[in-house]
Structure 1
Amino acid sequence: MNQLTVALPFALPPAELAGDLIRVLEAPALATLLSRHKRLRSSIFDSAVRALPHEVWLAGLDTGMTDSLALATGAMLGYGLQAAAQQGYWFMVQPSHLQLARTHLLLADQRGISLSEAESRALFDAARPSFEQQGGTLLYATPQLWFWRADDWASLDTATPDAAVTQNVSDWMPEGELARAGRRLQNEVQMAWHEHPVNQAREARGSAVINACWIWGGAAARTNAVPALAVAGGPDWLQALTDHTWRKASAQQLLAAPRPLIVPDLIGPAQAGEWSVWLERMQTIDQTWLAPLLQGLRSGQIDQLTLLLSDRERTQQADCSRLSLRTFWRKCNLNHLSKQG
C-alpha cells in the first residue's frame, strides 16, 4: 500500500482551551481528515521512557525500539560522523539554560536560545576536559548539538529536553546507578562555565547564560543508515535523523516518494502557551502540508494518509483512505481535537 504518515506533535490542545481554539482555527483539510477517516484511535501515553509521544514514535522508526530513546548515533550519521558512530556508546549533549522559578529550576526551551558558532566552540573547549576525564570523547557537531562517547555509561537513564521543558527539572534529571556521577559531571561543567567570558558577554547584553548541558538519547554503535523520514525543520538533532534531501521536503516530494513526515512547528508555542502562534502555525501546516496531501489522496497518488496527533500525554491516530473521504454525510469539523483519552 502506498501509505503516508504525518506526525503533528502538540496538535492536540489542552482540554480547557480546546473548545475556544477550534472555534477560531481555520484548517479545512485537517477537519476533513479528522471527520472522514476509516479508523480513529486515541490512547493515553505511558511516559515511563521519559520522553514525549512523538519522540518515542521517532525512536521506533530509527531503531525499531519503542522502549528506548536511542537516537544519538542516528543523529551522528546525519552529521557525517559514521566512523565514530560505529564504535562505542554515545549520548547527545546540548548546551542549555536553567532558570529559577518560584520553587524550582526550569529548563529553557532550546528553540529560544541563540548560540553562535564562536560561543559554542569556546564553551565546548571549556567543557571537554570534564567529559574526557570520564574516559570518553566529546565531538562537536553544531552550536547546539555535541556528541559524547561514554562506553561505561550505557545504564544512565536520561530524559529528552522537550519532555523536561516547563517541568520541575529535578524530576527529569538522569536516573539509575550512574545518576550521582552524572550530577557530578553536570556540576563540573557548570563551574567551568560559571564565569566564562562567553557567559559574561551574554549576561552583559541580556542574553540567557549557558549554565547547564543536557545529556540524553544514549545509543549503542550502529552501521545502518538513517531511516526513510522527512522532517519539516526543527532542532538540529531532529533534522540529523534524515538526509539533506528530506530536511526541507515539499508535499509534492512526499506524494512522489511517500515516507513518514514530522512537522515540529507546534511544539514551541504549545510548550510556552503561545496559543495565537499555535493557531497561525496550525493554519500554515494545513495549507502547506495537509491540503496538498489530501488532494493527493483524493487523486490516488497515495492510498492512505495517517495523521498522528499528540500532546504530552495523549496520542490520536486518524487513518484516511480514498474511500473514507466519500462519507459525505459526515460533517467536517475539528471536534476530535477536543476529545480526551
Structure 2
Amino acid sequence: MAHITLVLPYALPLPEFAPDLVRALDAPSLAALLSRGAVVRPAAASPLPSALPHEAWLARTLGLSADGRPAFANAAMRGLGLDPDGSAWHLVTPGHIQVARSHLMMADPRQLRLNDDDSLALFDSARLLCEELGHALVYGDAETWFLRADGWSFDIASPDTVVGMDLTDFMPKHVDARPFRRLQNEVQMAWHGHPANAAREARRLPAVNAFWVWGAGGEQTPKHAMSTYAAPGWLAALGERKLASLDKLAGALTNDGLLVAANLAEAAIAADWSAWLQGMQQLESALFAPLLAAVKDGRVRELRLVLSSREGLLESSTTPMAQRKFWRRPTLDALKAA
C-alpha cells in the first residue's frame, strides 16, 4: 500500500476570498479527504519571506535549504542534465518588470510564454556580460538559467514571492551587491530594443526586460523522488517525472511518492477566480476522486495533502480507517479557516 503526499500550491484560498470560493466549489471528494483525517495549519509566514509557504515546505522536505532559505539551484541544474562542477549556483528567471505608480513590480513569469528561440537569443547577450564579471551563465531551459554564485550568496526571494510586490523591498542592498546590481542594469540595457523583444512585442507578448536571481544552492540532492505537473522549469527539474496532462496524475500515484500539481498558480496570482475554480474542478475529477477511492479500498495507506496560498499552508492526512468515520460530515470548511 502506498504512502502519497500531494502538494497543491495556491489551492488554499486567501481568507478574504475563501467563503465565496468554497461556496462555489463542488468538490465532495476533497471535502471527504479533508474532513476525515487530521488537519494542521502551521504558523503564518513572515511579512517579507524569501519563499512562499509551499516553496519553504519543499525545501525542508527535499533537504534543499541553506541557512533556512531554499537552495534549489544546484539540484535543478542536475535535473536538467547540467554539471554544477562543485560550485554554488543561482537560479536565474527571465522576467518582465513594469513601473507601477510608485514602485517597480515584476509580472508573473508564466505570462511571458517564453520559448527556446527567444530565450536563447536573450541568454546569449546576457552571457557575455556575465562572463566579463567572471560569473558563468548557463542555459537550462527557456525559463530556467543558472548564474555561478561565487561571492554572490544573496538571500533573494523566489520569483513567485515578489510577483506584484514592491521590488525595492526584496533587492539586495549591501555593499557586496553593487557589482550584481550593475550587471542587472547592463543586461536590461542590452535587452532594450533587442530583436527578440521586438519580435515578441510584434506578437503582443511582454518584453523580457530583466532577470531575477535567487535560490543559490550547494551540493544537496533531493531526499525524495518527486513528480510534477504544470510546474515552472526549476521545480520540474527537481522531480524525476514531469507529467504532461491531468489524465496522467492518478497513474503517478500507484507507488510511494510526492507529487506537486501546480496548475492553479497562474490563475491565483492573477486573481482569476473563475479559472481557479475550473482548475480545482479538474483536480476534483482527475485526482481527488481517484485518490479517495484508493484510500477507501486500502490501495493508499496514508494520503497527505499540502495546500498553500501566498500567506499560509494547510497540511492534512487521512487513512482508510479515518475514511470509515461516516459520522464526520464531509465539508470544505478547512479551506476557510483563518
**Which residue matches 1:74?**
75
After TM superposition, the structure 1 = structure 2 runs for residues 1-341 of structure 1, keeping only pairs within 5 Å, are: 2-37=2-37, 39-47=38-46, 49-63=49-63, 65=65, 67-81=68-82, 84-154=83-153, 156-174=154-172, 176-222=174-220, 224=221, 227-244=224-241, 250-340=248-338
CA distance 1:219–1:242, shift in 2 (3 Å): same
- Paired residues of 1:59 and 1:70 also in contact (CA < 8 A): yes
- Paired residues of 1:231 and 1:242 also in contact (CA < 8 A): yes
The offset of 1:201, in angstroms, is 2.6
CA distance 1:337–1:305, shift in 2 (3 Å): same
Q: Secondary structure at the match of 2:92?
A: strand
Note the alpha carbon deviations across 1:72-126, whole angstroms, 9 max, x for none: 1111111111xx2241110111211011222222111111112232221111111
CA distance 1:231–1:166, shift in 2 (3 Å): same
Deviates more, 1:255-264 or 1:267-276: 255-264
Q: Distance in 2 between matches of 1:226 and 1:147?
A: 22
| TM-score, reference length from structure 2 | 0.92
Note the alpha carbon deviations across 1:119-140, whole angstroms, 9 max, x for none: 2111111111221123221111
| Structure 1 residues without counterparts, runs of 5 or longer | none
- Paired residues of 1:157 and 1:176 also in contact (CA < 8 A): no
The offset of 1:332, in angstroms, is 0.9
Q: Distance in 2 between matches of 1:244 and 1:10?
A: 21
| Structure 2 residues without counterparts, runs of 5 or longer | none
Q: Distance in 1 between matches of 2:176 and 2:284?
A: 45
Note the alpha carbon deviations across 1:124-173, whole angstroms, 9 max, x for none: 1111122112322111121211111122212x111100001121122222
Q: Secondary structure at the match of 2:140?
A: strand
Pairwise CA RMSD: 2.0
Q: Distance in 2 between matches of 1:257 and 1:177?
A: 50
The offset of 1:175, in angstroms, is 5.1
Deviates more, 1:261-270 or 1:236-245: 236-245
- Paired residues of 1:239 and 1:247 also in contact (CA < 8 A): no
Q: Secondary structure at the match of 2:139?
A: strand
Q: Secondary structure at the match of 1:308?
A: strand
The offset of 1:63, in angstroms, is 2.4
Note the alpha carbon deviations across 1:203-234, whole angstroms, 9 max, x for none: 34432111101111111235x46740111121
Note the alpha carbon deviations across 1:295-336, whole angstroms, 9 max, x for none: 111111121111111111211111111111111111111111
The count of aligned residue pairs is: 335
- For 1:13, the aligned partner's letter is P
Deviates more, 1:110-119 or 1:41-50: 41-50
The offset of 1:245, in angstroms, is 6.1
Note the alpha carbon deviations across 1:267-293, whole angstroms, 9 max, x for none: 111111000000000111111111111
CA distance 1:133–1:63, shift in 2 (3 Å): farther
Q: Secondary structure at the match of 1:16?
A: coil
Identity %: 41
The offset of 1:30, in angstroms, is 0.7
